[in-house]
Amino acid sequence: MPKNLTWKDFKFGMLICHQAFICKKSIAPFFSLEYQLSSDIDWEIKCLKAAHKISYMPEPMCHYLMGGASVKNLKRSWLERFQVLSVHFGFLQTIMNHIVIIFRGIRFAYKKGEKYW
């Protein structure tokens, strides 16, 4: 995770699981009910866009386990994430960024020796 995090760092997808993301209540929007699997990334980007100060905490706040709802519904999750990122970064940029995301997924699966999707 970058020490100087901005909303633009989310162009390739989720960087911080929402359980470890703390936002000041006064700038935190409601979770969008438009998305079932990708409201968290939309919420984090909106929080970062509204933030005047962002603090980095080097200690882990939680441990993320793979295999949640997004992984179990991968195609729908990818489609929703594409929609969210298109809203924030634009359609063409999101297409280019998803090429990188796909190659990252292939590399991740290869290193783990598992099927990713």
Instruction: Tell me the per-residue pLDDT of 16-66, one tens digit each, with 9 for 90 and over.
Output: 877 778 889 999 999 888 998 889 999 999 999 999 998 888 888 777 666
pTM beyond 0.85: the answer is: no
Residue 117 lies in a domain: no
Q: Is the pLDDT higher at 115 or at 24?
A: 24
Residue 2 lies in a domain: no
| H helix intervals, the chain | 39-50, 69-72, 74-89, 91-112
CA distances from 91 to 74, 75, 86, 100, 101 (A): 20, 18, 5, 15, 15
Residue 58 lies in a domain: yes
Q: Is the pLDDT higher at 13 or at 74?
A: 13
How does the average pLDDT of the chain come out, rounded?
85
Residue 47 lies in a domain: yes
Residue 60 lies in a domain: yes
- What distance in Å separates the CA atoms of residue 36 and residue 25, rounded to the nearest whole number? 22
Helix-strand-coil split of the chain, %, nearest 5:
55, 0, 45
Residue 77 lies in a domain: yes
Question: Which amino acid makes up residue 116?
Answer: Y
The one-character DSSP state at 1 is -
Domain extent at residue 96: 7-112
Residue 96 lies in a domain: yes
Please give the share of the chain, as a percent, with pLDDT higher than 70. 88
Number of domains in the chain: 1
